[in-house]
Structure 1
Amino acid sequence: MWEETIKIDGPYNFDSVLDRHQPDPLKQVNLEQRSIRVPIFIDDRPHVVDVKAIGTIDQPAFHLSGKSEADKAALIQRIAEIFQWNVPLKRIHQYFQQTDLKEIFQTFIGTPLILDFDLFGSITKCIIHQQINMKFAYTLTEGFVKTFGFEIDGLWFNPQPETVATLTVEQLREIKMSGRKAEYIIGFAREIVDHGLDLEALKRESDEEIFHRLTKVRGIGKWTVENFLLFGLGRPNLFPMADIGIQNALKKLYQLERKPTNEEMAHYIKGWEPYLSYASLYLWRSIE
């Protein structure tokens, strides 16, 4: 058993992180204790890390604990990556004080861009969520994980590529997944297992290189890659113009009678680079 206390620079609103995870039935969140349990793989070894906030927005601090002392350093590094503790939110906040998003950034100060816990799970979740409502997306993802994943200390882990690559379409159809999505997810897993697609290695690639590589895989289009870049890898300068939530937030911000055109959006975002991902995140928050 190991424990560690981590202090980072503020502002950082961990309670907003917990609020966003709370609706997911696979996430173990305790709002009163300000804590969340995180499933992590280190060199294919599964671990559970408990993360508890013990600080404030201005002076953030966290208590971490886990069971594997041997992997402690790697686990802390991965937790810091997931929760983006090394990202200078104060600098980003100050940057947007000179833009049209000033008030939104003041209202939701310290909102971090949080990563999905697992890279393979990040993309399979996107495939599952394509073109269905959020309630059914959660139900379908929960069924997928609890049927083909595994549980440690009461916490569920996403099924890994080696498992998913051996599944049949019929097995996924049994949990109410469409045949096409089943084909996409199995095909994606086989791309990793049989053809050497290395998701960890993508961290070192440019956004353009990742788009080029992943869109070659059947069932993975622009929307899925943008989500992976944002919430799988934490890329800071993504602005998904086709996202309906973004469009509605801009409509509200600029008091438009209809959703903005691509040309209008291209004009708005000129002053928001190189932090377009944070502009996207705060715009989403403004209409939650």
Structure 2
Amino acid sequence: MWKIEVEAVSIYDFDYTLARWSMDPLTSLNIKERWVDVPVKLAGQPHVVRVIGRGTIENPVFEIRNDSEKNKEGIMKHIYSLFQWDRDLEQIHKHFLNTNLKGLFDEHPGTPIVKDFHLYDCLMKVIIHQQLNMKFAYTLTKRFVEQFGFQKDGVWFYPQPEIVADLDYKQLRELQFSQRKAEYVIDTSRLITNGTLDLEDLAERSNEEVMKKLIKIRGVGPWTTENWLMFGVGREDLFPRADIGIQNALKRYFDLDKKPDYEQMNEKSIGWEPFRSYASLTLWRSIEG
């Protein structure tokens, strides 16, 4: 077993990452003891990495533990990419203190982009979650992973694309997937398996290129693409205007009579660039309780 202690470069609200991940019943964590077990897949091998919060928002310190000495460097690279501890959130906080979201950022400093554990996992999740209420969306995702994924040391891993690509639509229908959603999940996995869709390569491309590529895939629209870019890749300047949660948060924060339309959302978000993803996350956070 090895363990490493690291510090984030600036303010960082680790407890918020735990709170957001705790919405997903598949995630193994303990909010009180401040740890999460991260499923890491490297070179076809699963690793369970425990990340423990040891510090505060102002002085964030973390302990990373793993039982195996194999691929230590690769594991740490993945963990750093996931948590983005090298991102200066103080800079982003100061940016928003000069905008109409000052009050929100004063209330919630150090809110990071809380990414999903892997690019494929994130894409499957956002495809499954689209146009569903949150409770049922997580229920479907849980059934999908428990049926076709696997566990290591009590931690769930999503199935590999090759496993999903070989499924019959009927197998997802039996889990209460709609026929169309079953097709979207399996057909997208087949595109990945046959090399038509390379998520690692796509993650290196511009938002515009990703949008152009993904919306051509049946069942993947702008909302799905924006969410994959934010929660899978970690892009910093996304503002999903079609998201009901963000509309509700804006209505509440700005004390509007009704949810804002796109024109109002564009007007309210002037000056948020190039960090609109952090605005989106903090708006979501403001209504999550």
Normalised by the length of structure 2, the TM-score is 0.97
- The answer to whether the aligner puts 1:162 opposite 2:146 as a matched pair is no
Whole-Å separation in 2 of the counterparts to 1:174 and 1:259: 37
Maintained 8 Å contact 1:173/1:182: yes
Whole-Å separation in 1 of the counterparts to 2:153 and 2:256: 50
Structure 2 counterparts to residues 16-27 of structure 1, below 5 A? 16-27=16-27
Q: Secondary structure at the match of 2:199?
A: coil
Map of 1:261 onto structure 2 = 261
Q: More deviation in 190-199 or 45-54?
A: 190-199
Q: Which amino acid aligns with 1:155?
A: V
User: How far 1:21 moved relative to its partner?
Assistant: 1.4
Whole-Å separation in 2 of the counterparts to 1:86 and 1:179: 42
User: How far 1:70 moved relative to its partner?
Assistant: 2.7
User: Alpha carbon RMSD of aligned pairs, Å?
Assistant: 1.1
Map of 1:151 onto structure 2 = 151
Which string of whole-angstrom CA distances, capped at 9 and with x for unpartnered residues, describes residues 49-82 of structure 1? 0000111111101110113323111111111111
Map of 2:31 onto structure 1 = 31
Runs of 5+ consecutive residues of structure 1 not aligned to the other structure = none
- The answer to whether the aligner puts 1:173 opposite 2:173 as a matched pair is yes
Aligned residue pairs total 288
Structure 2 counterparts to residues 1-288 of structure 1, below 5 A? 1-288=1-288
Maintained 8 Å contact 2:10/2:87: no
Whole-Å separation in 2 of the counterparts to 1:33 and 1:255: 37
Q: Secondary structure at the match of 2:257?
A: coil
Q: More deviation in 73-82 or 140-149?
A: 73-82
Maintained 8 Å contact 2:89/2:110: yes
Maintained 8 Å contact 1:148/1:163: yes
Whole-Å separation in 2 of the counterparts to 1:145 and 1:199: 20
Whole-Å separation in 1 of the counterparts to 2:79 and 2:103: 30
Whole-Å separation in 2 of the counterparts to 1:105 and 1:144: 36
Whole-Å separation in 2 of the counterparts to 1:195 and 1:90: 40
Q: Secondary structure at the match of 1:41?
A: strand
Runs of 5+ consecutive residues of structure 2 not aligned to the other structure = none
User: How far 1:250 moved relative to its partner?
Assistant: 1.5
Whole-Å separation in 2 of the counterparts to 1:46 and 1:205: 27
Maintained 8 Å contact 1:184/1:218: yes
Whole-Å separation in 2 of the counterparts to 1:90 and 1:187: 42
Maintained 8 Å contact 1:84/1:114: no
Q: Secondary structure at the match of 2:71?
A: helix
Whole-Å separation in 2 of the counterparts to 1:250 and 1:134: 19
Whole-Å separation in 1 of the counterparts to 2:129 and 2:272: 28
Whole-Å separation in 2 of the counterparts to 1:267 and 1:137: 31
Q: Which amino acid aligns with 1:235?
A: R
Q: Secondary structure at the match of 2:176?
A: coil
Percent of matched pairs sharing the same residue: 50
Which string of whole-angstrom CA distances, capped at 9 and with x for unpartnered residues, describes residues 14-72 of structure 1? 11111111132110111121000000111222111000011111110111011332311
Maintained 8 Å contact 2:249/2:284: yes
Q: Which amino acid aligns with 1:139?
A: T
